[in-house]
């Protein structure tokens, strides 16, 4: 797989190991904002159900970030189940612990540092392993699939939920410029924005069976929402990498703001969920 340096140059999550406290808090705000999107909540509930997560199970959350998935999973595995959230960022692990402390699931979750491409965990030690909106940002992220398959027990389930880089939907009157912005955002905001398209083959290569895929398209219509801010960031990335000029950026953003102020904004992103079973 060719993941040359030109991809992911503006990814906020490519290397989170050296985040400053302010940078970590910015990412935490983004993650927690996205977690509250109605369509995201619905999608999360559905793909966790597809993994058949239930009481008493042991679940691993890969790239746990601020702990959104871990908290939801913990409510499903209580009272006797356990969740382990793993992330390479000490700052994000600290934030996840803090956000979890005041919840009713704090005693069911353990957070620890680790690399998804070389998990510091024993073989066959989890009932379910999940990675949500993580692997597209990880250099050589496909290696994590082998690790996920290794640490799940025979009969256990592996699931990956992630976005398709080119699947950005933004209501905007300038089609040509929007396509240019979306393409630049796809290439530079993720290390491999097409990883989701490879997941069935990667799952098969890891020895998983009963592999299935389902699509989700979270959408929002409001100014200041997660996907409205994503549209603004997409334009900023396109400007940063030279895909558009400052004048084009200003004009495109003016039209986007007009759509928002008139209540005509619509934004979202295609996500795929791929899951399978270890024989």
CATH code for position 89: 3.40.50.150
| pLDDT for position 214 | 98
| pLDDT for position 102 | 85
| pLDDT for position 13 | 85
Of the candidates 41, 50, 70, 40, which has an alpha carbon nearest to the alpha carbon of residue 213?
50
- How large is the average pLDDT for residues 234-248? 97
Question: For 43-80, what is each residue's pLDDT tens digit?
Answer: 999 999 999 999 999 999 999 999 999 999 999 999 99
Q: Is residue 66 part of a domain?
A: yes
| pLDDT for position 4 | 43
Q: What is the mean pLDDT of the chain?
A: 95
Question: For 105-164, what is each residue's pLDDT tens digit?
Answer: 999 999 999 999 999 999 999 999 999 999 999 999 999 999 999 999 999 999 999 999
| pLDDT for position 1 | 41
Q: Is residue 143 part of a domain?
A: yes
Using CA atoms, how far apart are residues 54 and 75, in angstroms rounded to an integer?
A: 9
Phi, then psi, of 78 in degrees rounded to 5: -60, 150
Yes or no: say if 187 and 237 are a contact pair by the CB < 8 Å rule: no
Task: With a cut of 70, say whether residue 3 has pLDDT above it.
Answer: no
Q: Is residue 52 part of a domain?
A: yes
Task: With a cut of 80, say whether residue 2 has pLDDT above it.
Answer: no
- Chain centre distance of CA 120: 21
| pLDDT for position 139 | 93
| pLDDT for position 29 | 92
The whole domain housing 33 covers 21-165+190-219+271-277
Q: Is residue 170 part of a domain?
A: no
Q: Is residue 173 part of a domain?
A: no
Using CA atoms, how far apart are residues 239 and 184, in angstroms rounded to an integer?
A: 9
Number of domains in the chain: 1
| pLDDT for position 12 | 84
Task: With a cut of 90, say whether residue 18 has pLDDT above it.
Answer: no
Q: Is residue 6 part of a domain?
A: no
Q: Is residue 182 part of a domain?
A: no
Q: Is residue 240 part of a domain?
A: no
Using CA atoms, how far apart are residues 47 and 127, in angstroms rounded to an integer?
A: 15
Phi, then psi, of 232 in degrees rounded to 5: -65, -40
């Amino acid at each position: 797989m060719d993941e040359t340096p030109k991809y992911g140059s503006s990814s906020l999550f490519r290397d989170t190991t050296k985040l400053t406290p302010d940078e970590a808090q910015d990412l935490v705000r983004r993650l927690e904002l996205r977690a509250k999107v109605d369509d995201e909540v619905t999608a999360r509930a559905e793909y966790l159900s597809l993994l058949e997560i239930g009481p008493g199970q042991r679940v691993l959350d890969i790239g746990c970030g601020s702990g959104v998935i871990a908290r939801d999973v913990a409510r499903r595995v209580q009272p006797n189940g356990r969740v382990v959230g793993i992330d390479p960022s000490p700052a994000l692990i600290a934030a996840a612990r803090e956000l979890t402390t005041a919840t009713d699931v704090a005693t069911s979750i353990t957070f620890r540092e680790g690399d998804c491409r070389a998990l510091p965990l024993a073989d066959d030690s989890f009932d379910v392993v999940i990675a949500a909106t993580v692997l597209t940002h990880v250099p050589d992220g496909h290696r994590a699939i082998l690790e996920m398959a290794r640490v799940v027990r025979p009969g256990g389930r592996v699931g990956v939920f992630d976005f398709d880089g080119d699947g950005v939907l933004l209501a905007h009157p300038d089609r040509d410029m929007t396509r240019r912005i979306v393409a630049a955002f796809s290439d530079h905001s993720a290390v491999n924005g097409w990883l989701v398209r490879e997941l069935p083959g990667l799952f098969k290569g890891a020895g998983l069976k009963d592999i299935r895929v389902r699509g989700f398209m979270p959408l929002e219509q409001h100014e200041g929402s997660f996907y409205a801010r994503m549209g603004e960031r997409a334009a900023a990335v396109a400007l940063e990498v030279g895909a558009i000029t400052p004048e084009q950026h200003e004009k495109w953003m003016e039209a986007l703001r007009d759509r928002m102020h008139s209540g005509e904004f619509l934004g979202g992103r295609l996500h795929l969920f791929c899951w399978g079973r270890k024989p």
